């Protein structure tokens, strides 16, 4: 574990009240833990704006009765085999399927995959959860 550095910060009183509220609501044990998490969140966002290596999950909801949709979704994934780690398919109802696709690779390629899926007719929702390999978050 890295050496701990102590710092003090100045905040306007209303902002400090909000900080206290957020610390409580998020279940953080103290302000330091909350601020640590905020910084990591920013670092992950920054990673996704660069060209390095990131990790994430695409959650996809679609109607499998839509003509050729399953084939198109599969083809998109086969174009990016080096970025797809694993996927899970769940039949939610007679018509609706959900897929969770765990990805790792270059942010732009992963975003393009999610955007490509979103454009297909019959796709109801695509969400991209952006995470990290953790290398910069120690």
Interface contacts to Ni ion, rule CB under 5 A: 91, 97
Q: How far is the CB of 129 from Ni ion (least distance, A)?
A: 21
The residue nearest Ni ion at its CB is: 97
> Residue 79 has what DSSP assignment?
T
Q: How far apart are CA 77 and CA 61, in angstroms?
A: 15
List the structure tokens of 99: 């897929």
Q: Rounded to 5 degrees, what angle do the CA atoms 30, 36, 39 make? A: 145
Closer CB to Ni ion, 97 or 110, in the complex:
97
Give the pairing type, strands 96-105 and 123-132: unpaired
Closer CB to Ni ion, 33 or 95, in the complex:
95
Q: How far is the CB of 54 from Ni ion (least distance, A)?
A: 28
Closer CB to Ni ion, 21 or 91, in the complex:
91
Closer CB to Ni ion, 50 or 65, in the complex:
65
From edge to edge, which strands make up the β-sheet containing 96-105? 84-91, 96-105, 54-63, 123-132
Q: Is residue 70 helix, strand or coil?
A: helix
Q: Is residue 105 helix, strand or coil?
A: strand
Q: How far is the CB of 103 from Ni ion (least distance, A)?
A: 20
Q: How far is the CB of 4 from Ni ion (least distance, A)?
A: 49
């Amino acid at each position: 574990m890295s050496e701990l550095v102590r710092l003090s910060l100045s905040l306007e009183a209303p902002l400090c009240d909000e900080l206290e509220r957020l610390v409580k609501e998020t279940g953080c044990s103290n302000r330091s833990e909350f601020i640590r998490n905020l910084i990591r969140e920013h670092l992950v966002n920054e990673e996704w704006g660069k060209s390095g290596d990131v990790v994430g999950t695409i959650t996809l909801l679609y109607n499998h009765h839509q003509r050729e949709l399953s084939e198109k979704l599969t083809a998109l994934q086969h174009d990016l085999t080096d970025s797809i780690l694993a996927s899970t398919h769940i039949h939610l109802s007679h018509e609706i399927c959900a897929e969770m696709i765990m990805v790792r690779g270059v942010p732009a390629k992963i975003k393009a995959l999610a955007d490509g899926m979103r454009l297909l007719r019959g796709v109801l929702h695509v969400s991209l959860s952006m995470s990290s390999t953790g290398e910069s978050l120690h």
